[in-house]
Amino acid sequence: KPATARFQPTLATQKRLAASVLKCGERKIWLDPNEITEIAQANSRQNIRKLVKSGLIIKKPEASHSRFRAREHAAAKRLGRHTGF
């Protein structure tokens, strides 16, 4: 490894606590990569709330579930496609 590589702390606990505090899944949690050392210091829900308030931890927006393909398929079905013949 190069000499410039630094130790990266595991933030699994912080991510789990943040998901619990923000009432969402862990995949919806964004931890600021520039502030990893500060986030790593947070070991309680109260500390996590403080980081959320300061914007170092963010709840990602929900991904939209597009109906485009379903509508296209339904339109084709009305024309008699996809019937198995």
Q: What is the pLDDT along the chain (85 residues), one digit of tens a residue?
A: 555 556 778 899 999 999 999 999 999 999 999 999 999 999 999 999 999 999 999 999 999 999 999 999 999 999 999 999 8
What residues form DSSP beta bridges with 31?
57
In order of 8, 59, 76, 85, the CA distances from 71 in angstroms are 46, 31, 9, 21
Taking alpha carbons only, the member of 55, 52, 51 closest to residue 41 is 51
Q: Is the pTM of this model over 0.85?
A: no
